[in-house]
Amino acid sequence: MEHAPKPGCGRNAVSEKHHAKTVDDVLPETACYDAFLTQAGRTMLTLDEVVDTFELLGDWDQRYQYLVELGQKLPPLPEEVRTEDNRVKGCMSQVWVHAYRDPSATERLRYHGDCDTTIIKGVLTLLIQMAEGRTTAEMEALDVDEFFERLQLDEHLSPNRHVGVYAIVDLMKKQARELAEPS
């Protein structure tokens, strides 16, 4: 069942604000961030929606600022899941990601995450938004190369950061597979 987003929130806020400069221009209040993550009943953000937002922001200074602000709005990682198993290896930044089953739809995945660097924390937030509500099979189908290409991250992040983002997605997929295994 498709629900209309709240006025001024989620994708509507993006389409209403053609000159968005910050996350708060696109997502004007905390409640809207929650709506952004769940998109009024939908649980995952599509790559097309992320690309639309990036195109509205224009130049890369605005896009970097958007990533920084988006990362600042990432909910805190619960300390009990800040473990070595949830730490991303192969990333220059200190990154943690934790998958868990959606309590209301156990075939669907949810993620917590955190990072100590602002830009990668913003990228992590986008990845979490795109992974939210996916099944394990949908998570496995997430194409990191398409993510890099369509957002032009390959042109604007260093090669070391590329390796780190691939490592984040690899861990997210590994955790999804582990959750899918019978207990």
- Which residues participate in catalysis according to the annotation? 91
Distance of CA 102 to the CA centre of its chain: 16
Triad 148, 38, 108: Cα angle to 5°: 80
Q: Which two tokens stand for residue 139?
A: 């998570």
Do 154 and 144 contact (CB within 8 A), yes or no?
A: no
Quote the radius of gyration of the chain (alpha carbons, Å).
16
Q: Which two tokens stand for residue 7?
A: 């006025």
Beta-bridge partner residues of 110 = 100
